Amino acid sequence: MAALGIIGALVPLMPTTIFLILAAWFFARSSPRFEAYLLANRWCGPVLRAWRESGAIPWKAKVLAVAGISGGYGAFILIASPSIWLALFVAIVLGGCALYVVSRPTAQRLAVSDAVD
């Protein structure tokens, strides 16, 4: 999962945060050492801790997530030319995902120095 999160940071339209959240969750049960490494990491640590503590997502991540969802839907419409019913179904599912992201609390801006307690 951590490797997918790292790849997601480099590849456009591939999610990063969800893979890192899952990696932290799995490592909490299997490797406390690697979990501590992820939580103390200067780039992903503050986001992971904010999610763990309050389910919060940074504003920039919300904007990028909704933009990615919208772009993905646009690509789906252009490339797949789906029937109206399939297009509506996918719009409802993706809209629900976007609504979930937007409805989460917004994490306060964290300085890189806050990553290490």
81-96: average pLDDT: 95
The pLDDT, as a whole number, for residue 111 is 47
Residues 6+ apart with CB under 8 A from 47: 17, 20, 57, 58, 61, 107, 110
Contact indicator for 5, 19 with CB cutoff of 8 Å:
yes
Contact indicator for 48, 34 with CB cutoff of 8 Å:
no
Residue 17 has pLDDT above 80, yes or no: no
The pLDDT, as a whole number, for residue 6 is 61
Contact indicator for 48, 20 with CB cutoff of 8 Å:
yes
The pLDDT, as a whole number, for residue 48 is 84
pTM confidence score? 0.68
Q: Residue ranges per domain, the chain?
A: 1-55, 56-109
Q: Which residue has the higher pLDDT, 96 or 25?
A: 96
* Tens of pLDDT, residues 52-73: 889 898 898 889 889 989 998 9
Residue 26 has pLDDT above 90, yes or no: no
